[in-house]
Amino acid sequence: MSERPLECGDCKKPIKVCYTEIIGDLITKTSMCQDCPELQKRLHGIPQPSLEDAQKTGVCCGNCGTTLEAIKQGSLLGCNECYEVFSDVLAKEIVTFLAPCSKVNKKELVLHKGRSPGETAKVGPAFKLIALNDALKETLKREDYEQAALLRDQIKELMENNPDDRKQ
């Protein structure tokens, strides 16, 4: 079975082209999408744009040479500078990707909500208790009293082992 080129392993676009190369007895088959830069390179020998050219048009990262075009085609980012250079494009893409997530506030400029380096606040077993309580409410709603009894026992055991969580 033909494989995507190694360089294009993360491209999610549908495969449109099957490229077969025969050199002597060796036959290599590669599958690519129609926009694949690797395909263009193999067909027409188009060189990659030089860093200088890309810099002139202002659409690439000055540190690693990653271009906006490559990012739009699904390539990996090249360095942490890319996040500064392409910040608005990346923010827009993140917001689009997160559109179905109602819990995420997509209008905020600062998207990151998690910890920063060095923060070490531990997570306790409270989530287990919350999840069991939610599941208990649901089983009672469904009148599954057998499961509800089992859940109640689990909650009781958890609270006995973690008395601090009773306050929650």
User: Does the protein bind other proteins through residue 101 (CB under 8 A)?
Assistant: yes
Position among 30, 31, 66, 67 found at the interface with other proteins (CB under 8 A): 66
Contacts of 98 (CB under 8 A, 6+ apart): 104, 106
Backbone φ and ψ for 57, nearest 5 degrees, come out as -85, -5
Question: Binding to other proteins (CB under 8 A): which residues in 2-21?
Answer: 6, 9-10
Distance CA 34, CA 16 (A): 6
Give the 3-state secondary structure of residue 26. Answer: strand
User: Does the protein bind other proteins through residue 114 (CB under 8 A)?
Assistant: yes
Distance CA 161, CA 164 (A): 9
Let me know if 70 is exposed, middle or buried by CB neighbors in 10 A (0-12, 13-18, 19+): buried
Residue placing its CB nearer to other proteins in the complex, 59 or 104:
104
Residue placing its CB nearer to other proteins in the complex, 83 or 166:
83
Which H helix or E strand runs over 108? Answer: none
User: Does the protein bind other proteins through residue 67 (CB under 8 A)?
Assistant: no
User: Does the protein bind other proteins through residue 119 (CB under 8 A)?
Assistant: yes
User: Does the protein bind other proteins through residue 110 (CB under 8 A)?
Assistant: yes
Position among 116, 141, 161, 163 found at the interface with other proteins (CB under 8 A): 116
86 contacts 61 by C-beta, under 8 angstroms: yes
User: Does the protein bind other proteins through residue 102 (CB under 8 A)?
Assistant: yes
Provide the binding-site residues for other proteins, judged by CB under 8 A. Answer: 6, 9-10, 63-66, 76-80, 83-84, 87, 90-91, 93-94, 97-98, 100-106, 109-120, 122-125, 127-128, 130-132, 134-135, 138-139, 142, 144, 146-147, 150-151
